[in-house]
């Protein structure tokens, strides 16, 4: 077994008595108090997550814009400094290398935030694609700590306890702030469907942020357990589940982040073809009529045959409904289509529904 | 940290059985409920079904995962704890008070294959 990596906040998690589990190669907190309590704190007040396991890559150089546009499905042409874009890096065949955020930090500089479990693979891929571009690609993942402060009262906690003026930030924008001899990044982003911020800084600064917010009692420490239940309810994809090396963003329902009118990007031809022919599989929402839980990998059936598999499923903490996302044959993807899910050998009746199980509460 | 009740028999898979005459009440241990976290659903077996020691008879679903329930005894199910349908969280509140099924034991001597509270405590450490 490979040894797990500890984030800069690892000792804090142990001190708080968190239940720890390996995730993406890191030893991460799954829950502190309980997933349900932490989930509700983020929906109705505020929570703080250690997301230092996420990877950070800096792209600089004359061709940086052209290069990022080449490896990324969204269009960052002429982006203003301070803006953030969500998008996907694709293989030429149309599967996803990863999904990521691109922060425009300078006229010729971009800060890319990638998934923990994909850091090595992504970085190798990015380096490989630099051929012919005047760019430098630097993996800064070990230098940064990161926390996410999420929930309707996150803004007050961040302003009052950290002294960072952030309420003027629009959704999907960021600013660099000088604090205690370093420049940190604060963005109005998150992975919960609530208003909130993600803060990137040195390990020392992120430890200070953690202590200040935890000691203030204005935010609850939250583990990866509720991070998943929160993102799931608002249908945000998780790489390895709704999006993967063999699941395209069009199949995942992320077409709005794939700019087919862009001059070129890796995977564009495959996306054009899928767009013209229509995708054969789609990620949909499914609601069970009975009280059982559909888990990742369970089979979805209709007309006596297997039509797909569950990608993520829970009894939604916010709504109490047993729902899941599943990748199924497009022929069955219309809302209201009756399907069934095989759970421990038995078939349970279910219906295709909108995959956004809970409405997002973003600012601006 | 977790509670272990004396006088019960335990399986290594963290179920307990409390023997009362020819019947056995079966539940999961406090250690197990703590490891699972919030229980959101209990897949109860059916009354009159037969269970076999060491074989699956249902499942407990926490927020994040499903765990099979393994029967610590053999026999016929005479009652299931229906209250868990509406309040699965009772397992978290008191795992020993909230049994899952009551079994008419076909072979009461089978409990000798199980652990006593001291032996069970040792595997929870």
Q: Which residues of A touch B67 (CB under 8 A)?
A: none
Give the pLDDT confidence of B80-109 residue by residue, as tens digits: 999 999 999 999 999 999 999 999 999 999
- Domain boundary (A233, A258, A292) is at A233
Domain positions in chain B: 9-123
Residue A203 falls inside a structural domain: yes
Note whether A35 and A159 are same-domain residues: yes
CA distance A90 to A118: 13
Q: What integer pLDDT is reported at residue B23 of this predicted model?
A: 97
What's CA A213's distance to the chain center, in Å? 23
**Contact check, Cβ <8 Å, B41/A225:** no
**A132 three-class SS:** coil
> Are residues A46 and A148 both part of a single domain?
yes
Closest residue by Cα to residue A266 from A34, A67, A28: A67
Q: From CA A178, how far away is CA A335, in angstroms rounded?
A: 49
Q: Which of A19, A228, A293 sits opposite B66 (nearest CB)?
A: A293
Which of A199, A233, A267 corresponds to the end of one domain? A233
Question: B63: distance to nearest CA of chain A, Å?
Answer: 7
Together in a domain, A78 and A201: no
**Does A213 lie in the same domain as A97?**
no
Same domain, A46 and A62: no
Predicted confidence band of residue B29 (pLDDT cuts 50, 70, 90): very high
Q: Does B64 lie at the interface with A, CB-CB under 8 angstroms?
A: yes
Query: In terms of domains, do A225 and A349 share one?
Result: no
pLDDT digits (tens, 9 = 90+) for A169-205: 999 999 999 998 999 999 999 999 999 999 999 999 9
Q: What is the pLDDT of residues A311-341, one digit of tens each?
A: 999 999 999 999 999 999 999 999 999 999 9
A363 in any annotated domain? no
Task: Identify the pLDDT of residue A291.
Answer: 82
Helix boundaries (H) for chain A: 10-15, 35-44, 64-71, 119-128, 154-162, 203-216, 224-233, 268-277
Reference B9, options B31, B30, B24; nearest CA is: B24
Question: Both A225 and A148 in a single domain?
Answer: yes
Residues A38 and A155 in one domain: yes
User: pLDDT tier at B39 (50, 70, 90 boundaries)?
Assistant: very high
Q: Which two tokens stand for residue A272?
A: 């054009």
Query: Is A358 within the bounds of a domain?
Result: no
- Residue at A243 is within a domain: no
List CB contacts (< 8 A) between A315 and chain B. Answer: 40-41, 61, 63
Could you tell me if B2 lies within 8 Å of chain A, comparing CB atoms? no
Which pLDDT score is estimated for A254?
98
Q: How far apart are the first and last CA of chain A?
A: 45
| pLDDT tens profile A22-38 | 999 999 999 999 999 99
Both A126 and A152 in a single domain?
Answer: no
Write the CATH number for A43. Answer: 3.30.1360.120
Q: Which of A206, A233, A260 lies at the terminal end of a domain, its last residue?
A: A233
Which of B56, B63, B84 to probe by mutation at the A interface, max A CB count within 10 Å?
A: B63
Nearest to B41 among A19, A35, A293 (CB): A293
CA–CA–CA angle A118, A121, A127 (5° rounding): 130
Instruction: Specify whether domain B9-123 bears CATH 3.10.50.40.
Output: no
pLDDT higher than threshold 90 for residue A218:
yes
Beta bridge partners of A343: A346
**In chain A, pLDDT over 90 holds for what percent of residues?**
97
Q: Which domain holds residue A14?
A: 10-51+144-233
Q: Is A119 left (phi over 0), alpha (psi -120 to 50) or beta?
A: alpha
Claim to verify: residue A135 and residue A64 sit in the same structural domain: yes
Residue A67 is assigned to a structural domain of this protein: yes
Tell whether A60 and A42 lie within a shared domain. Answer: no
Residue A323's CATH number: 2.40.30.110
Query: B77: how many CB neighbours lie within 10 A of its CB?
Result: 22
Residues A33 and A136 placed together within one structural domain of the fold: no
Average pLDDT, chain A: 97
What is the CATH classification number for the domain harbouring A62? 3.30.70.1400
* The pTM of the whole model exceeds 0.90: yes
- Asked if the structure places residue A170 within a domain, the reply is yes
Residue tagged 């179920």 (tokens): B15
Of A228, A295, A317, which is closest to B66 when you measure between CB atoms?
Answer: A295
Determine the 3-state secondary structure of A219 from DSSP. Answer: coil
Q: Looking at the domain assignment, is residue A197 inside a domain? A: yes
Q: Which of the residues B35, B36, B40, B43 would you substitute to probe the A interface, choosing the one with the greatest number of A C-beta atoms within 10 Å?
A: B40
Q: Give the count of domains, chain A.
A: 3
């Amino acid at each position: 077994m490979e040894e797990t990596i500890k984030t800069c906040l690892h000792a804090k998690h142990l001190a708080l008595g968190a239940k720890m589990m390996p995730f993406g190669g890191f030893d991460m907190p799954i829950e502190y108090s309980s997933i349900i309590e932490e989930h509700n704190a983020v929906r109705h007040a505020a929570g703080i997550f250690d997301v230092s396991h996420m990877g950070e890559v800096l792209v600089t150089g004359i061709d940086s814009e052209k290069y990022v546009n080449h490896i990324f499905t969204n269009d960052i042409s002429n982006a203003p400094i301070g803006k953030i874009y969500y998008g996907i890096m694709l293989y030429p065949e149309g599967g996803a290398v990863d999904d990521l955020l691109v922060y425009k930090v300078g006229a010729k500089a971009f800060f890319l935030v990638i998934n923990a479990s994909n850091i090595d693979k992504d970085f190798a891929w990015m380096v490989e694609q630099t051929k012919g571009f005047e760019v430098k690609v630097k993996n800064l993942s070990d230098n940064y700590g990161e926390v996410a402060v999420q929930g309707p009262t996150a803004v007050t906690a961040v302003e009052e306890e950290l002294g960072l003026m952030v309420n003027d930030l629009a959704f999907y924008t960021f600013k660099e702030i000088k604090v205690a001899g370093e420049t940190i990044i604060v963005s109005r982003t998150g992975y919960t469907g609530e208003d909130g911020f993600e803060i990137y800084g040195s390990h020392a600064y992120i430890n200070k942020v953690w202590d200040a917010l935890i000691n203030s009692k204005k935010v609850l420490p939250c583990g990866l357990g509720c991070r998943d239940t929160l993102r799931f309810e608002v249908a945000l994809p998780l790489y390895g589940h709704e999006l993967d090396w063999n699941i395209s963003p069009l199949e995942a329902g992320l077409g709005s982040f794939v700019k087919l009118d862009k001059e070129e990007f890796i995977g564009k031809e495959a996306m054009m073809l899928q767009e013209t022919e229509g995708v054969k599989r789609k990620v949909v929402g499914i609601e069970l009529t009975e009280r059982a839980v559909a888990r990742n990998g369970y089979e979805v059936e209709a007309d006596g045959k297997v039509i797909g598999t569950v990608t993520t499923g829970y009894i939604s903490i916010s709504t109490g409904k047993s729902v899941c996302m599943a990748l199924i044959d497009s022929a069955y993807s219309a809302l209201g289509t009756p399907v069934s899910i095989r759970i421990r050998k038995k078939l349970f009746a279910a219906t295709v529904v909108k995959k956004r199980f809970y409405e997002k509460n973003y600012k601006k | 940290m977790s509670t272990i009740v004396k006088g019960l028999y335990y399986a290594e898979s963290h179920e307990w059985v409390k023997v009362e005459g020819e019947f056995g009440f079966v539940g999961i241990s406090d250690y197990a409920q703590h490891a699972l976290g919030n229980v959101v659903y209990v897949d109860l077996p059916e009354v009159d079904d037969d269970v076999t020691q060491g074989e699956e008879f249902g499942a407990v679903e926490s927020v994040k995962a499903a765990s099979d329930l393994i029967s610590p005894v053999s026999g016929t199910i005479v009652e299931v704890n229906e209250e868990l349908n509406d309040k699965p969280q009772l397992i978290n509140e008191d795992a020993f008070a909230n049994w899952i099924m009551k079994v008419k034991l076909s072979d009461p001597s089978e409990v000798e294959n199980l652990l006593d509270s001291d032996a069970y405590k040792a595997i929870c450490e």
